[in-house]
Structure 1
Amino acid sequence: MNICILTPRFPYPQFGGDALRINEIARYLKHQGHKLILVSLSDGAKPPVAQAKVLYDKVYFVKRNRIVSLFVGAFNFLFGKPIQCGYYSSNAYRKLFRKVIQTEKPDLYIPHLLRMVPYLSELHLEKQTIVEMTDALSKTYLLSSKAEGVGLLKYVYMLEQRLIARYELQVTRRFPKVVLVSQADIDYLKAKEPNATSLTLHSNGVGILEALPEHYNTDKICFMGNMRSMQNQDAAIYFANEVFPLIKKERPSAKFYIVGSLPPGNIQTLASDDIIITGFVDDLEGFIKDSCLLVAPIRVAAGIQNKVLVGMGCGVPVVMTSLISHAIPELRDGDNCLIRDGEQALADACLRIMRAPELRRDMGRKGYDMVLRHYSWAEKLNGYERL
């Protein structure tokens, strides 16, 4: 089949989990013998097209006009439509997409995230479309009131919650297949739309090291994620301000690394001799594999947090909040991870691993084995293209 993938951002460089997931979906589809056509918006005038062409057979893009994006986003809000659908609305993209339909004649369309769905609805292409929703955003936005240090963005999400919740239900009714990464998110949407038959589970997979590292840095604590995300900003600020000082009292040599692309000012201000802001790293697994542990103190989230699987795929123990643990049913507190809530409980869990090399080794191995058995991309995406 000719499969057309529509993305709101150019998927290279692969800065965050959203780009990682859509590229892994594309890689799976390519392995099945399908021809892939990428049609993307781009924040820059010269995205790395050559890099994308290694995976995608045809690559088309247009630069997004940010001023127009803000105007149309506000316009959507005034008329009761999701702000993000307006923010990623582009007449130049519409024109390009129509041209691609005429020249490439796709058999199947995959819009990446809800914000790209209107382009399909406008042309009545629902029956040929698999919506890559990934997460139930309305669920995430409900939790946004807990976020710290993210300013205006939090309030935009709060306004967006009602609009996106209504749109999610419309999409589940109108499209034949809507893909999410978490059964918890499917259950959340089905509670609102019990007769929904379109909701389909294709969880995240993860790359796995061929062998576990023999040595690690006993003082290195890592957090990883796309730092444009409000959820990741909140988690990093929370850990740095509330949890890490408790660890430092007991272990003065501890270092906290915040690893992720495009860290904004509220993250940059956390930097110190003991809190290192790395920005984007070329080899993520290579950077985190010698960590003593990885933390995922997420308080605002939906779906599977890929950072948990990446850490485990490197043999690094993960300390996480209970909120995100439910999306991965194979997690076992005290066995292949530690699940804790609250500042002191999270700090104690980190210190427990840092003080016990045997616990760190055994927990890292069990997490690695769990990911190896259950979270290969090929297994999780099997049958993705079938309507």
Structure 2
Amino acid sequence: MKILYLAHRIPYPPNKGDKIRSYHEVRHLARRHHVDLACLCDLKEDLGYAGALRRWCRKVAVQRIVPWQATARSVPALVQGRPLSVLYFYLRSLQRVVDGWLAQEAYDAVVCFSSPMAEYLFQTRAAGARRPLWIMDFCDMDSDKWLQYAQRAFGVKRWIYDREAKRLLAYEKRVQRGFDACFFVSNREAALFRERVPEAHNVHVAPNGVDTEHFRPDFGPVRFREADGDGSGAFRLVFVGAMDYAANVDGVLWFAHRIFPRIRKERPEATFWVVGSRPQSAVRALAQQPGIRVTGFVDDARPYVASAACVVVPLRMARGVQNKVLEAMAMGRPTVVTFKVLDGIEAIPGRDVLAADEEEGFARAVLRVLSDNALAADLGGRARRFVKENHSWNAGMNRLEGVLEQLAATPSRREAEA
């Protein structure tokens, strides 16, 4: 098949949640199909990764979104009745690329990664004898993410977030009506979509996975950057995630201010390491607190995870499958999470991970791990087994490819409309 793949972020390097999933989708589809990639990036240095993607794609077009310009471009949506997210990720220059390729190539399918990329199909002027399949990978319900933001915000922010949640839900409904198939990362996420969009008839699940050879318990010697110290200490707590992402920032600040002091009261030697790129100022300021280290960008987060006595994922806002959790579990690290994190992962609290939503309960769970080596070892072993049995990339991507091939081989409404 000839497939056009549209992504709101360049799927390389696979160093954060959405990019990890799109990277594996592109690689998997390219094994047996011809894939052309048109995508956006928000970092200037990411433009240089187009060459790496040509290992799998016939054609690659990467265009940069400058965040402040994209924000300004999305402001009119407030009075237009449109979602801010759609205008944020829309570039006329990329539209011209998409139109040109659709006019030149007889694609069998167009795969859109994330709902805003649907706009490039809704706006296209390219016309062909036969419309390709339109496939949407929602990943998760973005509209519900904005609803969660609204519930925790105040004043103007609350109004904007609530407005975005409602408009994005309306847009998601439009995508569902116009696309041939829609995918989510988990059964729970798909069930939430069906609850909000009862008429949805074309919803499928392609779960996220983990490369269990890349993320393994016997990672090897841990070598930290000199600036981070020598990595010694038996009571290290580690969080890994992009630190310019609102849900991660909220969770880390909550843990650092409300939970970590409770842990330090009983374990003064405990340290909390925040590992992730582009930390916001409030996160950087945490490094002034006793026992907290903020690394910023690291080339490889695995040494930090491997060194952790406990991985903590204290997210109060979460959507879909948290790759950071699966990766820590794959490395056999005992992990403490909020129940919200498990919305997209069917791990069993108390068996595969420990879970708590209240500050005292979360602190108690972490202290249990730090105080009981046998419990920590059992949790780590069960965590890795769970990932190996339930979250391989091939299984999830085979589901997406299977639906795509089935639709391509079946007379569809596209032909009926023609």
Length-normalised TM-score, structure 1? 0.92
Which stretch of structure 1 is more off in the superposition, 269-278 or 43-52? Answer: 43-52
SS at match of 1:288: helix
- Matched with 1:41 is 40
From 318, 331, 338, the counterpart of 1:321: 338
- Matched with 1:333 is 349
Q: Does 1:10 align with 2:10?
A: yes
Shift of 1:61: 1.9
CA contact (8 A) 1:127 1:175 kept: no
Question: CA–CA distance in 1 between the matches of 2:30 and 2:157?
Answer: 37
- Matched with 1:357 is 373
Question: CA–CA distance in 2 between the matches of 1:69 and 1:109?
Answer: 24
Shift of 1:146: 5.2
SS at match of 1:37: strand
* C-alpha distance 44-347 of structure 1, shift in aligned 2 (>3 A): closer
Q: Does 1:128 align with 2:145?
A: no
The 5 A counterparts of 1:144-163 are 144-145=149-150, 147=152, 156-163=160-167
Amino acid in structure 1 at the alignment position of 2:3: I
Which stretch of structure 1 is more off in the superposition, 370-379 or 189-198? Answer: 189-198
Shift of 1:174: 1.8
* C-alpha distance 185-65 of structure 1, shift in aligned 2 (>3 A): same
Q: Does 1:190 align with 2:191?
A: no
- Matched with 1:306 is 323
Q: Does 1:206 align with 2:222?
A: no
Amino acid in structure 1 at the alignment position of 2:16: G
Amino acid in structure 2 at the alignment position of 1:144: Y
CA contact (8 A) 1:146 1:300 kept: no
Instruction: Give deviations 1:292-348, integer Å, cap 9, x for gaps.
Output: 11111111112111111111011011111112223222x122211101111111011
SS at match of 2:286: coil
SS at match of 2:287: coil
Question: CA–CA distance in 1 between the matches of 2:248 and 2:254?
Answer: 10
Q: Does 1:266 align with 2:282?
A: yes
SS at match of 2:118: helix
Amino acid in structure 1 at the alignment position of 2:343: H
* C-alpha distance 182-154 of structure 1, shift in aligned 2 (>3 A): farther
CA contact (8 A) 1:4 1:38 kept: yes
CA contact (8 A) 1:16 1:261 kept: no
* C-alpha distance 209-66 of structure 1, shift in aligned 2 (>3 A): closer
Q: Does 1:373 align with 2:389?
A: yes
- Matched with 1:345 is 361
Amino acid in structure 1 at the alignment position of 2:6: L
Amino acid in structure 2 at the alignment position of 1:119: Y
Structure 2: stretches of 5+ with no match in the other structure: 223-232, 408-418
Shift of 1:159: 3.0
Question: CA–CA distance in 1 between the matches of 2:2 and 2:156?
Answer: 41
Give the aligned length: 384
* C-alpha distance 69-208 of structure 1, shift in aligned 2 (>3 A): same
Q: What is the identity percentage for the equivalent residue pairs of Structure 1 and Structure 2?
A: 28
From 310, 314, 317, the counterpart of 1:297: 314
- Matched with 1:80 is 81
Which stretch of structure 1 is more off in the superposition, 38-47 or 81-90? Answer: 38-47
Instruction: Give deviations 1:257-279, integer Å, cap 9, x for gaps.
Output: 11122212121111135211122
Shift of 1:384: 0.9
Which stretch of structure 1 is more off in the superposition, 180-189 or 60-69? Answer: 60-69
RMSD: 2.4
Question: CA–CA distance in 2 between the matches of 1:154 and 1:379?
Answer: 39
Instruction: Give deviations 1:103-162, integer Å, cap 9, x for gaps.
Output: 4443211111111111012238985111111011122222214548x9987664333111
Shift of 1:228: 2.3
Question: CA–CA distance in 2 between the matches of 1:256 and 1:155?
Answer: 34
SS at match of 2:303: helix
* C-alpha distance 250-44 of structure 1, shift in aligned 2 (>3 A): closer
